[in-house]
Amino acid sequence: MAGLALAEAGAEVLKIERPGYGEDMRLYEPKWGREAIGFALLNRGKKSLAIDLKDRKSLKMMEPLITEADVLIEQFRPGVMERLGLSYETLSRINPRLVYCSITGYGATGSKSDVAGHDLNYIGDTGLLSLSMGPTDQPVVPPALIADLAGGTYPAIVNILLALLLREKTGQGTHLDIAMTDNMFMLMTWAIGQGLVTGEWPQSGNELLTGGTARYQIYPAADGRFVAAAPIEQRFWETFCNLIEMPDDLRDDAKDPAATLAGARRIIATKSSDDWKRVFYHQDCCCSIVQTLKEALADQHFLERGLFDYVLENEEGDSIPATVVCVSPQFRESPTARKSAPAVGAHNDAILKKYGG
């Protein structure tokens, strides 16, 4: 995803893959034409160079690329690139200006540096998962890859750009050690502060931001859909109470938070989501109806923002809206530039000819 963002901003991004079938994600389901749709969305606009990194002769072909490269991104476990002869120390001798970005689960140092893991492990190890897991007898798996994206992608992009700015001043590249777990703690500033100062550590379902109050809650409506209510500040709360006709004795949620929450739940459950949508429409109370993903993709607001104007094509000429990335529109290439994901090694000849490899 970090490479995709840079490609969307106009960088030439070369994806290094094993010869043959390339990286494993190409084989995932569901397929969209030749490739897995997940692979196609993440790799549109990139170029594919198929090289056997365990073959020293093949590695030699990469030297001209390293000499010209501004940035290298890798996500092997610590030590793998060194064993392949591609460590920062080795490559920086070829290109001292190289910004070398390593993205791992636990970082290059520390006792967990070589431990295998996925997003669920990373948010579990850092305490984030414990803050909002739902009922203990049926814990909920988060729907987004929080550590991968908030802990890996975005910090990588930010630090790559900072390193490039530093290089403008010093002429030197650097090695960035991006640990997805490290960056999870930034997402819990409120919880960490509360625990350190009061000694009362936040728990799942008990706090303001984890479902413990009526002011930040998901309420079932009468039709089985849900209201997302976040009237945290007092002025929003007062408007919310007026709109749902909260009884006077429940409006001061500091007196009996559980009673206020139960009262709000009873009231919201009496009307359908369409009814509540009309009640909350253009009211200043931070309340909305939970949309399905399909509904969100058709939401007029997002269409007006042009979020889905960028097009992904496959080799059969089919097209779908491309995934939104974090690059602001003024830095992205024109949405009229229809892009596709590369076949394995599709650019070997052109790249090697261009860079003299």
Which residues have a catalytic role annotated?
118, 148
Closest C-alpha among 25, 8, 14 to residue 48: 14
Query: Which ranges in the chain belong to alpha helices (H)?
Result: 2-8, 37-43, 56-68, 80-83, 88-94, 119-125, 146, 154-170, 189-198, 234-244, 257-268, 273-280, 293-297, 300-304, 348-355
Burial of 276 (C-beta count, 10 Å sphere; 0-12/13-18/19+): buried
| CB atoms inside a 10 Å sphere around CB 2 | 25
Q: Are 39 and 23 in contact (CB under 8 A)?
A: yes
Burial tier of 49 (Cβ tally within 10 Å: 0-12, 13-18, 19+): buried
* CA triple 3-48-59, angle to 5 deg: 100
Residues paired with residue 36 on neighbouring β-strands, in sequence order: 31
Q: Are strands 217-220 and 174-179 parallel, antiparallel or unpaired?
A: unpaired
Q: What are phi and psi of 25, to 5 degrees?
A: -60, -25
What amino acid occupies position 346?
Answer: A
CA distance 162 to 178: 13
Q: How far apart are CA 260 and CA 253, in angstroms?
A: 6
